[in-house]
Amino acid sequence: MKIKSEQLNNQLSQKLEPIYFVFGPEILLVEQSLTQIKSEANKQGFGEKVRFEIDGNFNWDLLHSEISSGSLFSQKRTIECHLKSGKIGIKGAKSMTEIATTLPNDVLLIISTGKLDMNQQKSKWFKALLKSAVVVQHWEISSDHLVGWIANHMSEVGLKPNIEVSQSIAFCTEGNLLASMQEIQKLKMAYPEGIVDTESYLNQIYQQSIYTIYGLIDVALSGNSDKTIKIFDTLIDEQSAPIQLNNSLYREIKSIADMAIELHETKDLDIVLKNHRVWNKRKTAVSSALKRHPYQYLQKLLLSIGRIDRSIKGMDNLTPRTELRTVLLNLSGKTQWAQ
């Protein structure tokens, strides 16, 4: 039986099933579901716990032996199996299929893994789990839904949801759910009553972000070439930051290129900024970039970033630091190329 992650609590409150299978690319979300399951298991007396880390060389006889052996200490046992990948081999697939249909009543089996491709989800062992287990699939949270996810979790910890605060957290944590959760926990400690001082928080975030990769990008977007180079030379060396900066630049310029297309059609900058959830502290920088750079120019920057990515991976012969510096200068308006 496949259920949505938000249905898990309700399902657990009705009945603890013998097998749970949780998977997906977002480790934090998978772990949250596992915590819910294990918490309910503890309430229902599943005292003894055994965990197996399963890779391609795993001895499946160990798992069969553990399942078939009785416990000396507890009538109810939890056996947790973490699959390091969905490639469990012929013996693993046969074992998983057998276990799914012959599990003893005193055993709770919890299986987890990361992302599974469509072929793995069509496998015999996966289909066997669909019939015998509660299956919870977590999806990667897209940037379009991240702000809403943050707002929901603010509410869950007792903070009043705030769109501007949620947007700032999404921007600064760049889709890292663990970092987002940590930022939400900091907010809960700073504002135990649940109401965040928006202006104070956003000013604090803005000041903290100036000498970060995110601050560097915003300074370039705003058109301040001198400050861009000053921050760049402070932050970036040949080893530590080019990958993160290149990835962040790609996401930011791609987003602004999408805005440029929409702006060409609507002619209303405020509507475009609202549609793309640009938080107030960033509106000036993003607006400045949109006014200076047409879509075609932004596309040229994206092509450069693609070559830098290939060079970082050893597939092209550019010098990443030098090329990133050039991209930032062009983004800031100190044009190195002809438009």
Q: What is the pLDDT of residues 4-30, one digit of tens each?
A: 988 999 999 999 999 999 999 888 899
Fold of the domain built from segment(s) 143-209: Helicase, Ruva Protein; domain 3 (1.10.8)
Strand partners, 50: 79
pLDDT band at 339 (very low <50, low <70, confident <90, very high): very low
Q: Which residue ranges make up each domain of the chain?
A: 2-137, 143-209, 213-332
CATH among 3.20.20.105, 3.90.226.10, 3.30.10.20, 3.40.50.300 for 2-137: 3.40.50.300
The pLDDT value recorded for residue 116 is 92
CATH among 3.30.565.10, 1.20.272.10, 3.40.50.880, 3.40.50.300 for 213-332: 1.20.272.10
For the stretch 69-104, what's the b/e string if a residue is b when 16 or more beta carbons lie within 10 angstroms of its beta carbon? eeeeeeebbbbbbbbeebebeeebbebbbebbeebe
In percent, the amount of the chain with pLDDT more than 70 equals 93
DSSP of 153-213, one letter per residue?
Answer: HHHHTTPPP-HHHHHHHHHHHTT-HHHHHHHHHHHHHH-TTS---HHHHHHHHHHHHTTSH
Model confidence pLDDT, tens digit, residues 227-259: 898 888 887 765 556 888 898 899 999 999 999
- The answer to pTM > 0.75 is no
128: how many CB neighbours lie within 10 A of its CB? 18
Q: What is the spatial distance between Cα 209 and Cα 68, in angstroms, rounded to a whole number?
A: 56
> Are 81 and 108 spatial neighbours (Cβ–Cβ below 8 Å)?
no
Would you state the structure tokens that stand for residue 266, as one six-digit string?
Answer: 């609507």
